[in-house]
Amino acid sequence: MLKKILSLALVLALVLTAFSGCGGGGGEESEEAGPILIGSIQPISGAVSAYGTQSRDAIIMAVDEINANGGVLGRELQVIVEDDEANPEKTKNAFTKLVTKDGVVGIIGALTSKCTLAITSDAQARQIILITHSSTNDTVTDAGDYIFRACYNDSFQGQVVAKFAYENLKSMKAAILFDNTNDYSKGLTENFKAKFEEMGGTIVAEESYATGDKDFNAQLTKISSAGPEVLFIPDYYSTVSLIAKQVRSQGLTIPMLGADGWDEIVNNAGDEVVGCYYSNHYSPDAEDGDVRTFVDKYTELYNVSPNALAALAYDATYILADAIEAAGSTEPEAIQAAMAATDKKFVTGQISFDERRNPVKSAVMVEVVKGSEAGKPAVAYSATVNP
């Protein structure tokens, strides 16, 4: 008799444990009184940490605002941020933790395309909403309908820079210096080249290097001898700052052009980049009311002007939160459908999604100009380029 009583007690304990362990993500009844958990994967440390830390801070700012306005579905929104150091293997580990241990209902990230691509198939298979704020590689959303992005892709961005070079700068001859071991750099190169030539321009030199290279003089000598009118360098600010010094030391005075990876160049380079241009997702000096409110609040909180990835991360947080609210549920299918129907004005523009879950929106070109401090450049709005 005692054994039967103990067995029944054990079964009851197991049942109660099972019910108490169901919180965290994906269900309505089990989570009704608790917070809604979302995750974010950012490079808080490593080579592009300036992007990761600003993105994290913008997400936290957005979550705090949302909670101050009543939360989501009447519940508190909580974000769990993981550092992947821009390393795809660490991205995978962070994703697994967020989904299996923390039970998040959606993830903002990763930041770089190579890291996001490391988890898109798994996110699709598990039906976890994944919205990257900054991964521009064209193939990022190919894994399926649970993968979204808040930024435009490389196809559009490469074409924007080419169109600006040809139409705004009146350049007929361009040179390209790119990283042939980096998909971001290669994708932008292909699309810039195709658009520039389609418009009637000529690529007079196309030179490459590998990630980690420090000396670009041999490539720049060849580029200089070809007589280009502009030089396209599609890479991240840390590498571009090294290249720019060598460009000027070779006596090349032509404008250098880049893409959103240049954001933060003004904090990593000097006067050698003044008079250069790059495509971006927004301009912090725009007179738009939403931009001004975002920039002023972010600057007050963190004592730094927010870069474009911070603005995109902020928008991605609101896109995800709005979708959960519109769905009236934390069920994956409902959130996915609500997010696909997004059509709203955010900091980086009016955003809706096409059939591949890429945002339909414009891009801006910004110019690097002399700042108020000697040797400290700044950026200024130059032009808007529409899809």
Per-residue three-class SS string for 228-271 = CCEEECCCCHHHHHHHHHHHHHCCCCCCEEECHHHCCHHHCCCH
State the average pLDDT for the chain: 91
Which pLDDT score, from 0 to 100, does residue 387 have?
62
Which has more confidence, 74 or 287?
74
User: What confidence score (pLDDT) does residue 32 get?
Assistant: 52
Q: Which of 177-181, 214-218, 249-253, 375-379 has the lowest mean pLDDT?
A: 375-379
Average pLDDT over residues 227-247: 97
Burial profile 94-124: b = 16 or more Cβ within 10 angstroms, e = fewer: bbeebbeeebbbbbbbbbbbbbbbbbbeebb
CATH code reported for the domain at 14-18+21-152+288-356: 3.40.50.2300
Tokens of 143: 């894994």
Q: What percent of the chain has pLDDT over 70?
A: 91
Domain 155-280+364-385 adopts which CATH fold?
Rossmann fold (3.40.50)
What are the Cα distances from residue 343, in Å, to 16, 340, 349, 353? 43, 9, 10, 8
For residue 96, pLDDT beyond 70: yes
Mean pLDDT of 14-31: 40
User: Would you place residue 286 in the very low, low, confident or very high pLDDT band (cuts 50, 70, 90)?
Assistant: confident
At residue 201, the 3 state secondary structure works out as coil
2-7: long-range contacts at Cβ-Cβ below 8 A with a sequence spacing of 24 or more? none
Which residue is listed with tokens 């959130």? 335
Domain 14-18+21-152+288-356 and domain 155-280+364-385 have a common topology: yes
Strand, helix or coil for residue 135: coil
For the chain, what are the domain ranges? 14-18+21-152+288-356, 155-280+364-385
Between 1 and 302, the more confident residue is 302
Written as six digits, the tokens of 165 are: 């070079």
Percent of the chain with pLDDT strictly greater than 90:
83
